[in-house]
Chains A and B, each alone.
Chain A
Amino acid sequence: MSLVTTGTRLGNNTRRINTVATRKRKKRKSSEDAQRRARPFWSGTITFGLVSVPVDLYPGNRTNRAPLRMLGPEGEPLARRYYSQKSGHDLDQEEMVRGYEIDKEKYVIVTDEELERLAPEQSRDIDLRRFVDLESIPPLYFDRSYFLVPAEGSEKAYKLLSETMEKSGLAGIATFVMRGKEYLVAIFPENGILRAETMRFADELRSPKDIDLPEKKKLPAAAVKKFEKIIAKNSDRHLSLKDLKDEKTAQLLKLVEKKRKQHKDVVEVEEPERDEGKVVDLMEVLKKSLARKRKTAA
């Protein structure tokens, strides 16, 4: 295979391929479905000092509570496929490669193996080399949330770490490479479970200067006072989760329920042997995973 390739540029339908793991995962057949779903998103090791704690990582957010499936004219669930614009044929995973565009329609091919090898084994450990006050981290840095649960046999060291952190009230900071990307994380305990909040690197954030925002000028005290009054009047000591309710999804579910009761536009199809687009109950997966640990730990 040549290193630099030429091709025709057609359309702008691009997507980032992540890593080996993602690609293999997508290929798995539905017979392994239940197993796959109970499997963690990633497995790795937290180290602090010379202590290492093997952990499994699960997502801590659900992205879409009510995803809509794409259906055909008869209501049959559709599948998303990649196809070659050259031949018009659908492509399997192994017929596709990852390319970095160095010039118009010129790509450098980068393989899964190369990406894997660019991350030295050591860089995959979540090495907690600093502990900080969680509240001192500006929320600008927070990106995504994950749960780290003890992996087989690591319950004792895990508990030691989470209890120590719980008592100190500190968050551990580390960088690590996971599935073809490096992450900066803050790790902190919540109900004895470690949460890993991925954070943005400093160069991924703009400053007011980058945006050319005007600088503050001298303010009349009355202008500030006016807002202080409004703030004082509308302040609560606690955040109410009601304020963060997803009203649109609630309405969508209501509409769905109404139509279902009226037997309007309801189609039943034989579920094909596929797991694309199915909703996974993350909470159940996590509970199961923690329960399994419970058994082995006892």
Chain B
Amino acid sequence: MTVRAIWKGDLKLDSTRVPVKLYSALQDQTVRFHILDERSKTRVKQHMVDPDSGKEVSSEEIRKGFEVEPGTFVILDKEELESLDPEASREIEITRFVPPNEIAPEFYDRPYYLGPDGDQTAYFALAEALRSKEKEGVARWVMRKQPYVGALRAEGDHLVLFTLRNAEEVLSAKDLPRPAGRAPDKKELSMAKQLVELLKGKFNPKDYQDEYRARVREFVAKKAKGHAPKLRLVKTKRQGASLEKILSKSIESLKKEKRAA
């Protein structure tokens, strides 16, 4: 399977340019369902209707409006909306560099692998420099009429460009009140700490599989053959004992597990 580039551009750092191609770093594994009309078992379509009359409004008649207060809309026509489109460009401007982990996880959106478009030396030299300097670039660019903010990182020997969420799109816990409630006592805290220590390890992505997705696939395949397995809902019990008792039990059983391993 060959993966095709989705876009081409130039990374621009000061006056230096590095021509690159963008490839999606994601491969969709979703089990895709279609919405069907139950009677005819055909795919449904969508349209816009006036909810009062139930009549369809054709796409040429549809106008777009911003709701400034409940029930009050300011209508923006096509020309006005187009005037907001940024100027087309092939430049991915790297405005500055920051240490990795300066950008919090919640900002990262979609990753794209970059590949060299011609000059391989400049491409690999930039990746190498990002790694040796332990930095991440902050980027801005316009792709298919949309403005993006992003991050440029070295992953192994290669470059990855991430789209980032805008500052306005991320909610910060710092603006929220800390959860209330009685503070846990020392004994509980030290036991919980012990528990976390026992579970401490490395993040190894290969340790995790989407088992649910596999089960859905298997079920669909069986049902297609005409023998859908019967499914039962299994309930689990919840704790009733005191926090301290549960913690000590947990620690015990984990230690046992470790010894057995």
Contact = CB atoms under 8 A, between A and B. Distances in A.
Contacts of B205: 141, 199, 201-202
A248 interface: yes
Interface string B25-38: 11111111111111
A264 to B, nearest CB: 8
B173 A245 contact: no
A155 B181 contact: yes
A137 interface: yes
B37 A96 contact: yes
Interface in A144-163: 145, 147, 149-150, 155-163
A86 B175 CA distance: 51
A234 B106 contact: no
Contacts of A16: 30, 32-33
Given A122-B236, A287-B177, A65 B96 contact: no
Given A60-B106, A85-B43, A91-B44, A145 B170 contact: yes
A76 B63 CA distance: 9
Given A84-B42, A96-B37, A219 B113 contact: no
Interface in B140-175: 140, 147, 149, 151, 153, 155-158, 160, 162, 164-175
Contacts of A71: 62-65, 73, 75
B228 to A, nearest CB: 7
Interface string B165-208: 11111111111111111111000110011011101111101111
Given A69-B66, A80-B48, A15 B124 contact: no
Contact of A246 (B2, B169, B215): B169
A139 B103 CA distance: 10
B261 interface: no
Given A132-B203, A159-B183, A219-B124, A206 B99 contact: no
Contact of A204 (B28, B103, B121): B28
A285 to B, nearest CB: 10
**Most A CB within 10 A of own CB, among B2, B33, B228:** B33
B260 interface: no
A272 B52 contact: yes
27 contacts: A48-B199, A49-B247, A49-B253, A51-B192, A62-B169, A70-B48, A71-B62, A72-B57, A75-B75, A83-B46, A90-B49, A118-B219, A132-B201, A147-B176, A175-B208, A181-B212, A191-B174, A195-B173, A202-B205, A203-B29, A204-B28, A206-B24, A235-B97, A252-B84, A256-B68, A264-B74, A290-B180
Given A121-B233, A132-B202, A244-B149, 17 more contacts: A8-B42, A9-B42, A14-B34, A15-B46, A48-B250, A71-B75, A100-B33, A158-B179, A159-B183, A213-B115, A224-B125, A228-B133, A231-B97, A231-B137, A248-B147, A259-B74, A293-B181
